[in-house]
Structure 1
Amino acid sequence: MSSLILQNHPKNVKCLVLLARHISYHVKTRQKVSIPPMSDMEAVSSWGNTHLDSVDPEIHGLIEKEKRRQYRGIELIAAENFTSLAVMEALGSPLTNKYSEGLPGNRYYGGTEFIDEIESLCRSRALEAFHCDPEKWGVNVQPYSGSPANFAAYTALLQPHDRMMGLDLPSGGHLTHGYYTSGGKNISATSIYFENFPYKVDSTTGYIDYDKLEEKAMDFRPKLIICGGTSYPREWDYARFRAVADEVGAFLLCDMAHNSALVAAQEATDPFEYCDIVTTSTHKSLRGPRAGMIFYRKGAKPAKEGQPEGAVFDLEEKINFAVFPALQSGPHNNKIGALAVALKQAMAPSFKVYPKQVKANAACLANYLMAKGYCIVTGGTDNHLILWDLRPLGLTGDKLEKLLDLCYITLNRNAVFGDTSFLAPGGVRIGTPAMTSRGLVERDFEQIGEFLSRAVTLTLEIQNQYGELTEDFNKGLVNNKEMDELKDDVEKFTYSFEMPGFVISDTTNYD
């Protein structure tokens, strides 16, 4: 019991003093020593109020290692970002303790008065942040992330085996927009439960081929058309999508998960002007927690031929029912609280500077790489990401990704139009949101471009010396002096920039 007290009790000193007195008394009086049991209340306090580093040093140490990895590296994964300390405080709050199935004012659990206030505040901030008139738009903030948000929207709008069209995965679409292989294998749940017919980019320009999209839609007659992608570096012509959707009688859904911050700051074309549904995750460019939202139209429908006069949208009940009870149970209230914080931060006047810089940094990096002679898909970018085609160099994205990771630079292998392998695709995707959150500007991204160019040269040298097979190539990554030099240069570079959200201990070495 004394060992238990030493390790876990929050009032260690007091307990030890009492225990010493107890033993001393019994020794003096020659009575048998019996250690008093810890009371139930003391046991609860010990279990519930002890810090992580004491309860689980192993997990605590791994978290500290991950913090150090983030701090010392160059984060270029377009879907990742660094959130704020305020958001993380809300995520780790007692809001995680509360069940609240249902919607504010209509819950299946008691004790939700403050949860209702938090969710209502989050919804109103979401509408305000994206410049939506609450008379014309509503929002559900309960989806656990962007993928469940998309599937909830499909569940609300479609019946099983209804037809839908989204951007093909090798063209820059997302798995949740529906994907099946050339052999007909269904990869995502979307393609399992609904009939998909993808539209694609032009093979020479890399831009969406809107004429073929319209032609396909006229033949396929989908009930839903999706715009938005995961690795498409150009703007979206929502007006053209709207015209096609109206022509075939389809709903139009935008997945703005990647560029939501640009939309909020009015640094990207506004999908709300044209779409019926807008979905998003919240942890990418928006810098929030890992959650999701579904925006839906309300009120009177725009007048058009063949539509009854006074027709209104009926999406609100369908969307809310699809989220709960159809697909989810209790919402994650800590995420909703954290999202409310992130949305407030996104409405601050200073936030508008951030998406501008994200775009400027992406354009700068794309131009730097193209000036070096590298092939950037579409010849540049309009948003936060760059798609780099490595095929002219004779490289695959997995090899460059692996070498960069060992040199403290993270990005991801990515398919380029025409690829058939997703394990060894012909390109990599680069994003600027995370490092822009650390305060980097154009001159810093030119330095990043130089690091990337050095890495490509190293990758080619290793491949030429050891061979293209993965097991042979990996041998050249061991004890490589030039890689060690690049890694050291990257670490010195990143340590000169502030890290949002947390600090690194100067006294503890977790390497």
Structure 2
Amino acid sequence: MNYDTVRSVDPAVADALEAEVDRQGDTLAMIASENHVSEAVLEAQSSVLTNKYAEGYPGSRYYGGCEHADTVEQLAIDRAKELWGAEYVNVQPHSGSQANMAVYTAMLEPGDKILSLDLTHGGHLSHGHPKNFAGQVYEVENYEVDEESGRIDFDEVRAHAEEFDPDMIVSGFSAYPREVQWEEFQAIADDVDAYHLSDIAHITGLVAAGVHESPVGVADFVTGSTHKTIRAGRGGIVMADEEYGDAIDSAIIPGTQGGPLMHNIAGKAVGFQEALQPHFEEYAEQTLKNAQALADHLQDHGFSLVSGGTDNHLVLVDLRDSHPNVTGKEAEEALEDVGIVLNANTVPGETRSPFVASGIRAGTPALTTRGFDEDACETVGHCIAEVIDNPDDEDVKAEVAEIVTGLCEEFPLYDDDTEGLVFE
């Protein structure tokens, strides 16, 4: 993969792009929200649709010349409906956060109340953190996971909801390694007369493949990211019953966005088409198997995992018991030195700054896309353990770096000989 045309205009940017291709190929992407898309998705996202304004929706645009943009967006909508079984879909949000913003804008008034999972317990900024728009526009309180079990305590959520009387309850997470019981959240929301927004940003692909329970048809609103485990064009999505469609459409344009990014929507359409193929369910199942293999190896090595394991694509390691003198940030930096890229993460009962943190979060979606199986993920777990056990030992890090290099060569990414990732 090269950028010769870019180089003829802007060598500095071409250098950075080609270096990033090398970085991704030569390292293991284990940030749980990252994945690798196919060359078909990359090609769609770099298409001439980047030139086209298409404010409005298919068949009802503010500008002319949108017939082909209409085709692409309608394909993305129809494929999303088939993937997730939704009555209504909007594929225009630029991100999962903007998808959440659209639902809030459509259904709430400034000052209304939101009950959501605390950020340090696995929630997301857009669920109402004080530094985020949601925390500034709405009154937000948080429920937490049980610090001992690492799981959501629905009795605590119900008690909090009855006391706080929210207008909207948000379920979903950015760092919760267990399956979510959407019906429990919906029952609580119904009992306190609140809307229920389910944010499946991390697990859109797992839900589409049927390896995680779906909130579609259960929650009032479902939002998500369209990259992560679904491997489509980068952006967001909103799903709901048809009765809410007009309100959400208006909340996105003119409410929170202008022109949609039609090239990104093309990438979504292509990625959704790939996810409709039989191989995608195999991919999702393997992602879970790989996460379980990674979790088992780390536990066998003495690491404490939040909730004691994983049901999904991510593992959340609490370093405080096994490595009390190693912070999450120190572990992240030591692992990046050897080519393993993951992130420091807060854990329930966190006592350190979120910029330092006491845990690390590791995901398997990108590794699985490259072809990793359980054995390969156990090897990765061994590498992670060796580095965290010996974060300042350069000999150990050199040995691990060599193993990582071998894995990258065994499972190439965008390899010129194979014409890159093509999902068949």
TM-score, normalization by structure 2 = 0.95
Alpha-carbon separation, structure 1, partners of 2:8 and 2:385: 44
The one of 265, 268, 272 equivalent to 1:339 is 268
1:378 partnered with 2:303: no
- Encode CA deviations 1:455-504: one digit per residue, 9 max, x unaligned: 11112xx3xxxxxxxxxxxxx8xxx34323322221122111131x4639
Query: Which residues of structure 2 form unaligned runs of 5+?
Result: 419-424
Correspondence list, 1:6-405, <5 A: 51-132=5-86, 137-179=87-129, 186-298=130-242, 313=243, 315-392=244-321, 393-394=323-324, 395-405=326-336
Let me know the Cα RMSD of the aligned residues.
1.5
Query: Which residues of structure 1 form unaligned runs of 5+?
Result: 1-49, 180-185, 299-312, 463-475, 506-511
Secondary structure in 1 aligned to 2:229? coil
Secondary structure in 2 aligned to 1:387? strand
1:68·1:504 contact (CA, 8 Å) conserved in 2?
no
1:278·1:294 contact (CA, 8 Å) conserved in 2?
yes
2:386·2:396 contact (CA, 8 Å) conserved in 1?
no
The aligned amino acid for 1:219 is E
Secondary structure in 2 aligned to 1:82? coil
Moved over 3 A (4+): 501-505
1:85·1:502 contact (CA, 8 Å) conserved in 2?
no
1:67·1:504 contact (CA, 8 Å) conserved in 2?
no
Alpha-carbon separation, structure 1, partners of 2:395 and 2:417: 28
2:355 aligns to what?
A: 423
Counting matched residue pairs gives 413
The one of 400, 404, 412 equivalent to 1:490 is 404
1:152·1:327 contact (CA, 8 Å) conserved in 2?
yes
Alpha-carbon separation, structure 2, partners of 1:376 and 1:483: 23
> Which structure is larger by alpha-carbon Rg, 1 or 2?
1
The aligned amino acid for 2:400 is L
2:416 aligns to what?
A: 503
| C-alpha displacement of 1:97 | 0.3
Alpha-carbon separation, structure 2, partners of 1:481 and 1:365: 24
1:73·1:408 contact (CA, 8 Å) conserved in 2?
yes
Alpha-carbon separation, structure 1, partners of 2:216 and 2:58: 25
2:216·2:240 contact (CA, 8 Å) conserved in 1?
no
| C-alpha displacement of 1:172 | 0.4
Alpha-carbon separation, structure 2, partners of 1:349 and 1:377: 33
Alpha-carbon separation, structure 2, partners of 1:51 and 1:68: 18
Q: Which moved more, 1:481-490 or 1:224-233?
A: 481-490
| C-alpha displacement of 1:403 | 0.7
The aligned amino acid for 2:106 is A
The aligned amino acid for 2:74 is S
